[in-house]
Structure 1
Amino acid sequence: MKNFFRFFYTIYFLVGAFIYIVVYGSIVLFIGFLVGLFNKNLSRRFVIHQIEVFGRMAFRLLGIKVHVFGEKPNLGENFIVVANHQSALDIPLIIGYVAPVAFIAKRELGKVPGINWYLKYLGSVLIDRGNVRKTAMALKQVVEKLKFGVHFIIFPEGTRSHDGNVLEFKKKSLEIAFKYKVKILPVSIWGVHKVLRKKSLMLNRYPVYIKIHELVDPSLFESEEDLRNHVRNIIIEGVKMLERRNFDEKS
């Protein structure tokens, strides 16, 4: 019976997501196009706001309560979001409850209808991981966009955690932030790995917790490694706190 419920719960979400991303998304982009004929900045703000709304709606569609700790950042300040990685749902979670961030994503995502629209408006940079020269050029684009106030997200673990524990951060994963002295916004996530487990397409209803930390200034550290370890420790402590909150509420 439990598997039967999970199956229809998953189908319900996928249908709802398709309608929201493709159907409603097309309407939003059409309105954005019309507004853009008169005011490009207003058009972009309108579309990005709708993307933020979608981030929150993803969890409302699932009937999942999101518990948020900490304050949303000032979008007028330049920063890179650095978070632990638990699920594919981390992305709408960050967009909806932290900031409308851009992605350094695989080139293949730029061919997915609906998703490619949002990537474009968020200012994401697509990379070809098999091409060193093009990857280097893409990273230069990231640096340029950071200068103009685009906020990117990095998952330094490089893969999703199966059990929710924070994995080791990849070496030089925060090199851009350290080299160009871009402040880092650490974000801790807990519970999303139970909603959508790694290597599974079936969804579960489970509360989600997110902690937005204070900005970290890379100029205060002597090396990328020191910065990386400091940010990882902040995120680990945040995850532990969120896990305790979840345990206390269940008790």
Structure 2
Amino acid sequence: MVLFVGALVVWALTFPFDRNGKVLHLYSCFWAQLYMYVNPLWHLRVDGREHLPWRGPAVLVANHESLGDILVLFGLYRPFKWVSKASNFKLPFIGWNMWLNRYVPLVRGDRESVGRMMVACERWLAREVPVLLFPEGTRSPDGQMKAFKDGAFQLAVKMGCPVIPVVLTGTARTLPKHGLVLETQANCHVQVLPPVTPASCGNDVQALLEHVRGLMLAEKARIEAQK
């Protein structure tokens, strides 16, 4: 509740000159990272931040292992708009903060909601604000990367902006799908890969999807082999 009050203050003070909500988003990054900071058994390593823009359109895509992904991706400390389940926006304090940030709600399986999500993302990209999506659509039950949906890649091709792959490892131990208990120890790693332009894949949505997924699978395997 205290952190949400802080978010309200940041929103009120910065809205007149920060219409894209960059400052509030960075405050939200700090809020989320507090949960990592206060747990001495949770460790986070972020590599490749230099590939992320402070300004400019980009579609960030990340694999999805657990609810802990949200915490560690806020550790990117770069501006972007989340695409998240609409039900999350109803959560007290955290969900209200998502509304203040003007993140993008989505009802999975609802075609109208998907259409509204795509339009909202296009608007943010047109305003040179990156968006972040989980192309698997939902959390993986076993940590293995599932098939990708093509929405994120349609956005990149239509808006002519790069896709930036973000590979997560170690987060499945924080709160796996269908898990009820937070794991006491976790070593989380976020690896940001270089941007991939749609033109490099002939502006073909499926080719772009397969290329990016291949890069992410290879990088995930490389990181896990080193552990």
1:82 deviation in Å?
0.5
TM alignment of 1:123-202, pairs within 5 A? 123-129=102-108, 131-202=110-181
So what's the TM-score if we normalise by structure 1?
A: 0.79
> Residue 74 of structure 1: which of 38, 41, 53 is its match?
53
Residue 11 (structure 2) pairs with residue 32 (structure 1): yes
Q: Does 1:236 align with 2:203?
A: no
Q: Say which SS state the counterpart of residue 40 (structure 1) adopts.
A: coil
Contact 2:170 2:186 in 1 (8 A): yes
Secondary structure of the residue aligned to 2:67 is coil
The answer as to 2:97 corresponding to 1:118 is yes
Percent identity (aligned): 22
Judged with a 3 Å threshold, the aligned counterparts in structure 2 of structure 1 residues 231 and 108 are, in CA distance, closer, same or farther, namely: same
Corresponding residue for residue 225 of structure 1: 206
Answer yes or no: is 1:46 the counterpart of 2:23: yes
Q: Deviations over 1:47-101 (max 9, x none)?
A: 2221111232221222211122223412112111101110111112112225343
Task: Please tell me the root mean square deviation across aligned C-alpha atoms, in Å.
Answer: 2.4
Give the 3 Å change call, closer, same or farther, for CA 122–100 of structure 1 in structure 2. Answer: farther
Unaligned runs of 5+ in 2: none
Secondary structure of 2:186 counterpart: coil
TM-score normalised by L of structure 2: 0.86
Cα 1:156–1:44, aligned 2, differ >3 Å: closer, same or farther? closer
Cα separation, partners in 2 of 1:170 and 1:32, compared to 1, 3 Å: closer
Query: Residues 77, 108 of structure 1: CA spacing in aligned structure 2 closer, same or farther, 3 A cutoff?
Result: same
Q: Which gives a bigger RCO, structure 1 or 2 (Cα 8 Å, sep 6+)?
A: 2
Q: How many residues align?
A: 223
Instruction: Please tell me the residue identity of whatever aligns with 1:65.
Output: H
- Displacement of 1:198 in angstroms is 1.6
More helix by share: 1
Question: Shift of residue 124 of structure 1?
Answer: 1.4
Contact kept in structure 1, 2:53 and 2:78, CA below 8 Å: no
Distance in 2 of aligned mates of 1:176 and 1:42: 22
SS in 2 for 1:97: coil
Q: Residue 103 of structure 1 contacts residue 153 of structure 1 at CA under 8 Å; is this kept in 2?
A: yes
Looking at CA atoms only, which structure, 1 or 2, has the larger radius of gyration? Answer: 1
Given that 1:56 and 1:97 are in contact with CA atoms closer than 8 Å, whether structure 2 keeps it comes out as no
Partner of 1:210 in structure 2?
190
Q: Which moved more, 1:42-51 or 1:169-178?
A: 42-51
On the 8 A contact 1:68/1:209 being kept in 2, the answer is yes
Structure 1, residues 14-59: CA drift from partner, whole Å, max 9, x if none? xxxxxxxx222213313532x248x432994432221111232221
Unpaired runs of 5+ residues, structure 1, are: 1-21
SS at match of 1:207: strand
Instruction: Give, in angstroms, the shift of residue 128 of structure 1.
Output: 4.3
